[in-house]
Chain A
Amino acid sequence: MAMQEDLYNYILGVADNSLILGQRLGELCGHGPSLETDIACTNISLDLFGQVRSYYQYAAKIKGGEETEDTIAFLRKERQYRNILLVEQPNENFAYVIARACYFDLFHELFLLELMKSTDETLAAIAHKSIKEVRYHKLFSTEWVKRLGDGTEESQQKMQQAVDDLWPYTEEMFLPAQVEKKMAEAGIGVDIVKLKEPYYRSLTQLLEEARLRVPDNQYFQKGGKQGIHTEHMGYILSDMQYMQLAYPNMEW
């Protein structure tokens, strides 16, 4: 039973990252800097929500009772969301959207490659499905990092700013919460500590290729996995949960 509870919490932790990033990207609907990038960001958002639905449906099945994918997504309090701080950072400008996406996509691919080997059949299936989509996400974000970094003086400066500002949020991806450690040991979850080295290696390579300076800031932010979020999180949730709170039990 304790194992089921851990698995449930683990799945939520994994899926919450994609939910909140998806919500941030969805905010660009109709507001993207160009039609193509607008469509790309919202398409990626849609992929992420699709993946999140699979995770939450599985979590709801484990939990049983009244729990559904919708209650998990929309009816939790801020402290119950376990997403990393990176994904809740705002869309300051397109460079931030791209830096945040790229930081996450590089991790997401490495993560799914490992989750594909999970002894849990359902998680492995979700990972197999998702990785095909995430490779496209990574292509999009990394290409834009290069284009903006190695672009004009202005785009270079803005991209560098975003890379620097979001850098302190990267390390949290590799700091396992208690439940992540347990699940990794059980062969169900991913040993994220192992991903850190290949992650920073490929990120460094990308930034160099994009003629961007690799930040040397060693002070990192954390807390999201414990439910301690930045001030942005409340605003995201008030937007995201509005319909479900204003019209309880609504269905499409």
Chain B
Amino acid sequence: MIAEATHIDQRLEPLLREVSDPEIPVLSIMDMGVVRYAQLEGEQAHVKITPTYSGCPAMDVMSVEIKAALQEAGYDAEVELVLSPAWTTDWITPRGRAALEDYGIAVPLEADADKSALMGGKRIVECPQCGSKNTKVVSAFGSTACKALFQCEDCLEPFDYFKCLK
């Protein structure tokens, strides 16, 4: 259940990049930071992934899709779920952030973006539609475990905010 620091075999990297989060199809699992380890030994690939939230139902799907993607390339994959170190929103890559924002999901930015943003204390979450920071939290719990529901007070559009987890 414990994974060492990230290690990704360069031969597997492009294959894993093709796998996306089933609930956020624009986001590769590599950019989401859930793949912690990938190593090829002969035909056998060992992959370790970590959940964003403990109960994330997408993990099983990701595991199946990783196996399918690697199988297509002729590898037999073994996917293990690890819990430590625990995932943090800091592991979303800059490319992942850009993809999420294009998709209409705001991303936690600053180090202090965590709970103050969700408590409505500070208005720091930018609307992915119009860029305004005049936004308010509607609910700290959103459409999936990893998201909160926000609304922009300027363009009035509701949007998802990728809940900060540190």
Contact = CB atoms under 8 A, between A and B. Distances in A.
Main DSSP-derived SS at the A contact region: helix
Nearest to A143: B119
B145 A47 contact: yes
Given A50-B54, A50-B55, A128 B86 contact: yes
A133 B54 CA distance: 8
A47 B140 contact: no
Contact of A132 (B55, B86, B149): B86
Among A43, A51, A133, A143, which residue has the most Cβ atoms of chain B within 10 A?
A43
A47 B54 contact: yes
A49 to B, nearest CB: 5
B139 A53 contact: no
A3 B1 CA distance: 21
Contacts of A37: 139
Contacts of A97: none
Contacts of B7: none
A19 B84 CA distance: 22
Contacts of A46: 53, 55, 57, 145
Interface residues of B, number: 28
Contacts of B86: 125, 128-129, 132
Most buried by A among B51, B56, B87, B141: B141
B115 A43 contact: no
A113 to B, nearest CB: 14
B54 A43 contact: no
Among A47, A130, A136, chain B packs the most CB atoms within 10 A around the CB of A136
A53 B55 CA distance: 8
A39 interface: yes
B83 interface: yes
Q: Is the interface of B mostly helix, strand, loop or mixed?
A: loop
A157 B57 CA distance: 38
B145 A54 contact: no
A50 B81 CA distance: 12
Contacts of B145: 43, 46-47, 50
Contact of A136 (B85, B88, B140): B140
Nearest to B57: A46
Contact of A39 (B84, B115, B141): B141
Interface in A116-142: 121-122, 124-126, 128-130, 132-133, 135-136, 139-140
A154 B72 CA distance: 62
Contact of A54 (B54, B87, B119): B54
B68 to A, nearest CB: 18
Interface string B78-99: 0000011111100000000000
Interface of A: 36-37, 39-40, 43-44, 46-51, 53-54, 58, 121-122, 124-126, 128-130, 132-133, 135-136, 139-140, 143
5 contacts: A43-B141, A46-B55, A122-B1, A125-B1, A132-B86
